Amino acid sequence: MLKHLKSNRPVDNNFAGHGDNSCLKEEDIIRYLFHEITDEERFQIENHFTECDLCYDLVSGARKFDSEEELRIQIEHTRREIRKKFHRSAPALRGSKLAYYAAAALVLIAFSGFSYWMSHDPNRQLADEYLKPYSNTIPLSRSQSQETLLEEAMAAYDLEHYAVAEAKLSEFIAQNPDNLTAHLYCGISGLMSGDARESLTRLQKAANSQETRIADAAEWYLALANLKLGHINDAKTILVRVVNKNGYFTNSARSLLERIDNP
């Protein structure tokens, strides 16, 4: 493995990844994983791995993502969540430090799940246990030679690239704000990628659908989103409604209610 390689060749301190803190920057990681780089640049990065376990683990975490787009979306999401969590208690955390901690969170994303790092609340973990993707019910258009934005989003959803799906669905919704099915899948994608707070608005919108299947699914995932965010009373109120509907999610909602009341 790279971290066990050793070399006496000097590292060029003018390289972008070796500033005052001698660690890789976000762009270094992205270029290393997804772009052609020179042999010299590759040597400098891999030589740095021999001296820095953190940067080696950062790259290991980033390898989880299949594309540069997906990685960038997750980094930005992670950065937003770090701002929410730390700005009140650490107002000095800005700029490069914030970006550095956002990158460092990739390690946790890869090996333990970002949501578990953000909180060890048993109710959050319980929500994750019940959280499964909803099947894709959006029909594909066969009449066009190119995929539409919605089809691209749902293709990413089917591949479990939920951060990409959420971003593309958000773009689609900006152009089609009344498409409640898109709101549903955008909210689910947010939940699956650890973005529970952002998913609330989408799911609340979808819950107003006149189509029973969409509304019922939206309420189930809305309950999970509230549970993940620690809104226990809101989650239980929604779960009671789901149980009383006697629909597809009734048994799951009843089971989850019992476990919330009796952890």
Per-residue pLDDT reduced to its tens digit, 111-127: 444 444 444 567 778 88
Q: So what's the pLDDT on residue 124?
A: 79
Dihedral over Cα of 212, 213, 217, 222: its sign: negative
Q: Cα(218)–Cα(204) distance, rounded to whole angstroms? A: 7
- Cβ–Cβ < 8 Å for 242, 253: yes
| Dist. CA 220–CA 249, nearest whole Å | 7
pLDDT tops 70 at residue 110: no
As a whole-number percent, the residues of the chain with pLDDT over 70 amount to: 70
- Token pair belonging to 118: 């953000």
pLDDT 10s digits, 133-172: 999 887 665 444 445 889 999 999 999 899 899 999 999 9
What's the average model confidence in pLDDT over 62-68?
Answer: 76
pLDDT of 7 above 60 = no
Phi/psi-derived region of residue 104, left when phi > 0, alpha when psi is between -120 and 50, beta in every other case? alpha
Domain with CATH 1.25.40.10 in the chain: 126-261
Contact 58, 24 (CB under 8 A): yes
Q: Is the pLDDT of residue 3 over 50?
A: no
Which one is predicted more confidently, 47 or 240?
240
**Mean pLDDT along residues 51-66:** 75
Q: Which of 57-71, 73-87, 96-110 is the most confident on average?
A: 57-71
Tokens standing for residue 131: 């959280």
| pLDDT > 50? residue 6 | no
For the segment 219-231, the average pLDDT, to the nearest whole number, is 93
The answer to whether the beta carbons of residues 211 and 180 sit under 8 Å apart is yes
- Lowest pLDDT segment from 119-123, 134-138, 192-196, 258-262: 119-123
Q: Are 169 and 207 in contact (CB under 8 A)?
A: no
Check residue 4 and give its pLDDT.
32
pTM of the model: 0.59
For residues 216 and 164, give the distance between their C-alpha atoms in angstroms, rounded to a whole number.
25
Contacts of residue 103, Cβ cutoff 8 Å, sequence gap at least 6? 25, 26, 29, 58, 75
Predicted confidence band of residue 93 (pLDDT cuts 50, 70, 90)? very low
Q: What is residue 18's DSSP assignment?
A: -
Q: How confident is the model at residue 199 (pLDDT cuts 50, 70, 90)?
A: very high
Write the burial class of residue 153 (CB in 10 Å: 0-12 exposed, 13-18 middle, 19+ buried): buried
- Distance from C-alpha of 39 to C-alpha of 166, rounded to nearest angstrom: 36
Indicate whether 78 pLDDT > 80: no
Of residues 163 and 214, the one with the higher pLDDT is 214
What is the rounded distance in angstroms from the CA atom of residue 71 to the CA atom of residue 83? Answer: 18
pLDDT given at position 101? 55
Residue 114 token pair: 């970002």
Please tell me the predicted confidence (pLDDT) of residue 176.
93
pLDDT tier at 255 (50, 70, 90 boundaries)? very high
Mean pLDDT of the chain: 76
CA–CA dist 215, 155 (Å, integer): 23
- Does domain 126-261 fall into CATH 1.25.40.10? yes
C-alpha–C-alpha distance, residues 216 and 245, integer Å? 8
